[in-house]
Structure 1
Amino acid sequence: MEFEVKSPILGFESVRGMRLEKIDDLFMKLKNAEADSPVFTLVNPFLLREYDFEIPLAMKVLLDLKENTNLLVLNIMIIHTPLESSTVNFLAPVIFNFDNHTMGQLVLESHRYPAYGLAETISSFFNSDSTPTQEA
């Protein structure tokens, strides 16, 4: 599904359209709709941990978010080898509005959300049997 970028992903301000593709319940792929790059692996944070933040009014207006909007929140993951050492950025969620096909990255203030890190190792959220340690 394609989305219009209303608030760009940091470092990729010129990208105006992105395509979201589901890999499984935990992972998704986000690709530039008009070029070969960038390509991001995204993760569903709610399957890893308790994850809650306030969406500022400016972002709500930009994405036309309402109380009943069909939205999805994902986080960018940096893939490493081995996969268990891959990291997740919980301080810059990507928000998707499925009702109007818009998206944007929100940068959270670290002092307001001290429990969230820029590069948290994904293995810290899984048991030894590879199941998430906590589901929200």
Structure 2
Amino acid sequence: MKLNTKYHNEVEIQESEVLHFEKGIPGFPDEKRFVILPLNEDGSFSVMQSVGTEGLALVIVNPFDFFKDYDFQLEDSVVEELVLRSDKDVLVYSILTVEDPFEKTTANLQAPVIINKSNNKAKQVILVDEKYKTKHNLFGKTHLQKVKG
């Protein structure tokens, strides 16, 4: 099917690529269908594009690529809701708040997007771990040095 997007103009997607958020996502309870599209060539940044609303596209990253000590436990109810049977089925993304300049961009580690890649069920989960907030600097000094050097 053809999909008009915020960042990629019109793209062709397969129904099998569509993620299903049973209860929508916080702030967008009626948005239940999204697709993930790459944003840059190396795949480090992606977009979670709404299937129903062209202008709704959230920039996302794999948080483990930027925060090596990021770790959390999913509640049993989330595991059951997404029908997670194996760690290999789990994808985790963090939604970014993109800033100008881009180096000030932050990641929401308190509410990761959890996806079961075997059935495309997805949910944004609110963690009750006090060490994670909605705004963590994506580019720490060491990461910026690696990018620049």
1:87 alignment counterpart: 106
> Where does structure 1 lack aligned partners over 5 or more consecutive residues?
132-136
Tell me the secondary structure at the aligned position of residue 130 of structure 1: helix
2:55 alignment counterpart: 37
Distance between the aligned counterparts of 1:2 and 1:91, measured in 2? Answer: 24
Cα RMSD, aligned residues only: 1.7
1:129 alignment counterpart: 146
Q: TM-score, structure 1 length as denominator?
A: 0.85
> Where does structure 2 lack aligned partners over 5 or more consecutive residues?
1-16
Rg bigger for which structure? 2
RCO higher in structure (CA 8 A, sep ≥6): 1
Q: Quote the offset at 1:116 in angstroms.
A: 1.7
Deviations 1:16-61 (A, max 9, x none): 1111112333211001112213210001111111211111111111
Bigger helix share: 2
Identity %: 23
Q: Quote the offset at 1:6 in angstroms.
A: 2.4
1:120 alignment counterpart: 136
Q: How many residues align?
A: 128
Q: TM-score, structure 2 length as denominator?
A: 0.78
Distance between the aligned counterparts of 1:28 and 1:92, measured in 2? Answer: 17
Deviations 1:54-107 (A, max 9, x none): 111111111111125522100000111111001111000001111001111000
Structure 1 79/68 Cα, relative in aligned 2: closer, same or farther at 3 Å? closer
Cα pair 1:3 1:19 within 8 Å, conserved: yes
